[in-house]
Structure 1
Amino acid sequence: MKKIFITGATDGLGFMAAEKLIEQGHQVVLHARNKTKAEIVHQKLPNAKAVVTGDLSSISQTYKIAEALNRLGTMDSVIHNAGVGFKEPYQETEDALPHVFAINSLAPYILSCLINKPKRLIYTSSGMHEQGDTKLEDLLWDKKKWNAAQAYSDTKLHNILLAFAVSKRWPDVFCNVVSPGWVATKMGGAHAPDDLEKAPETQIWLSSSEEKDVQISGQFLYHKRPKNYLSAANDTQLQDRFIDFCESLTLIKIP
């Protein structure tokens, strides 16, 4: 039995993963954006170990999520599942950051830095990362040039850069990144072509299995198998540039 934390667990793939892991007997800590969503998801999954609340678009609330989780002890696995989609309109957070960057890119960085180091880390990317900007020239995007699909693609590249950077810094942690596919969740839309049932399987497997095949790190996976990804993500200088930028915004370093 493992203790597993899942961000964005109130619906979609996060909820599906949580439901399966609880059925398997694991102690699952859920994350919800606010108290109302927390109450609803706890009613749906009453056997969850706990629910922590906080808006990942807010730096201060993301800090509090990490603090609340650490009070519950050290997790065996953390699944960074939360995210907003490729149709997200331009909007700024209370920290004057683009909403999509704050949730998709910066929140996983903050939580990675502040949560007690788990044994396993799973980040969530997308096939759209292949259209991500490998120059990292405009990480926060010019509002006048806003392109929602490009911004989303950029953040999904950021997730790979973060996962690979953390895997190098923490050789004692199994740290990987997953593409669940384009599936018919609220984010993906009703006409998404990939298999919804298979979409959370890799996250469940990496976070809970005792198979030797999960004892890997620095991998990009799709349906439990390595998948080709943008080769630029292997560039350690690019990884460090992203990490340094996140550090400059938050004033916290990866331990």
Structure 2
Amino acid sequence: MTKNVLVTGGNRGVGLEIVKGMVAEGYKVLMGCRDEDAGLEAKKDIVGGDLHVIEMPLDNESAIVDAFTRAEAVYGPIDILINNAGVLDDTQWTDVTSESFASSMQVNVFAPLTLIQQSLPKMIERGFGRIINVNSSYGSFHESLAGPFSYAISKAAVNALTVKMAAVVDNAKEDKEIDVAVNSMTPGWVHTRMGGADAPKTPEEGADTAIWLATLADDVPNGKFFKDRKEIAW
């Protein structure tokens, strides 16, 4: 039976390449995007495959839950969740406000949490699931949280979220045999609107590790951080 994949921020950049890759692998893919028209425009360039556009603004918890619920009602349960959408606020720490910081946290952390809350319990119940949180080396303590203030802290929180949710999976495995995993990955410095024109990697290269984690069938890791298909330090 075809598995369903939800990719947030799937209409451009790395997210679009993840969508294309998962469609090519034969999955039913739900392209989550803030604006349906933007998703439909991006979909025009993808020929064939089982692809559907889901309007899912990530700035409001109830809207996320409503969109997720409607998506599952129409297309069936989400087997693979790829939390790709993110915002990069490069405001200097001295100028960050509680409102601007909350905006970064909402899209980068709270929205993935909401989607995990909606999907992970059902994955555990069914015995299968993959959650991939698309992150950044800027959120790595090992690399000194080198990015802009709000972005780096919110991305570090994404890694913390990954570890906590992976522990939920490990605890569930004590009661029954399940094939569920939660991991983080960084695409690296990618030539996208966020990454800029000087970035050395293509969006397709940036998407590779997420697709790899989503489609792994054997020796599936849980609660790890990856770059270029290799585990890296938190």
What is the TM-score normalised by the length of structure 1?
0.74
Is residue 105 of structure 1 aligned with residue 129 of structure 2?
A: no
SS of structure 1 residue aligned to 2:85: coil
Which secondary structure state, in structure 2, belongs to the residue aligned with residue 193 of structure 1?
Answer: coil
1:8 aligns to what? 9
CA contact (8 A) 1:121 1:207 kept: yes
Shift of 1:195: 5.3
The 1:114/1:225 distance shift into structure 2, 3 A limit, reads: same
Q: Quote the Cα distance in structure 2 between the aligned partners of 1:158 and 1:48.
A: 33
CA distance in 2 between partners of 1:97 and 1:151 (Å): 6
Corresponding letter in the other structure for 2:70: A
Residue range with higher mean Cα deviation, 68-77 or 98-107: 68-77
- Structure 1 residues 150 and 42: alpha-carbon distance in aligned structure 2, compared to 1, 3 A threshold: same
Pair 84,217 (structure 1): closer, same or farther in 2 beyond 3 Å = same
* Contact kept in structure 2, 1:42 and 1:48, CA below 8 Å: no
**Deviation (angstroms), 1:12:** 0.6
Counterparts in 2 of 1:87 and 1:124: CA distance versus 1, 3 Å: same
Amino acid aligned to 1:150 = F
Shift of the alpha carbon at 1:97? Answer: 7.0
The 5-angstrom pairing of residues 1-255 of structure 1 reads 1-45=2-46, 47-71=49-73, 72-87=75-90, 98-115=102-119, 116-117=122-123, 119-130=129-140, 149-171=148-170, 172=178, 173-194=180-201, 196-210=203-217, 212-213=218-219, 215-229=220-234
- Residues 109-150 of structure 1 deviation map (CA, whole Å, 9 limit, x = unaligned): 011111343611111111111369x9xxxxxxxxxxxxx811
Work out the percentage of aligned pairs sharing the same amino acid. 23
Partner of 2:173: none
CA 183–228 in structure 1, closer or farther in 2 if over 3 Å, else same: same
Q: CA shift at 1:38, angstroms?
A: 2.7
Paired residue secondary structure (1:31): strand
Shift of 1:48: 3.7
Partner Cα distance (1:170, 1:220) in 2: 16
Give me the whole-angstrom Cα distance separating, in 1, the residues matched to 2:81 and 2:36.
Answer: 21
Tell me how far 1:11 sits from its aligned partner.
Answer: 0.2
* CA–CA separation in structure 2 for the residues paired with 1:187 and 1:208: 26
**One-letter amino acid of the counterpart of residue 103, structure 2:** H
Where do 5+ consecutive residues of structure 1 fail to align? Answer: 135-147, 230-255
Per the TM alignment, residue 194 of structure 1 is displaced from its structure 2 partner at its CA by 4.0
Structure 1 residues 57 and 196: alpha-carbon distance in aligned structure 2, compared to 1, 3 A threshold? same
Specify whether residues 18 and 88 from structure 1 end up closer, same or farther in structure 2 by C-alpha distance, changes over 3 A only.
farther
Task: Give 1:50 shift.
Answer: 1.8
RMSD: 2.5
Task: Give the length in aligned residue pairs.
Answer: 211
Shift of 1:16: 0.4
State how far apart, in whole Å, the 1-side matches of 2:110 and 2:35 are: 19
Moved more, 13-22 or 167-176: 167-176
| Offset of residue 209 of structure 1 | 3.2
Normalised by the length of structure 2, the TM-score is 0.81
d(CA) in 2 for partners of 1:100, 1:155: 7
Deviation at 1:170, TM superposition (A): 1.8
Normalized per residue, the structure richer in helix is 2
Cα-to-partner distance string for 1:36-95 (whole Å, 9 max, x where unaligned): 2132133233634322112101222112222123212222211110001243696887xx
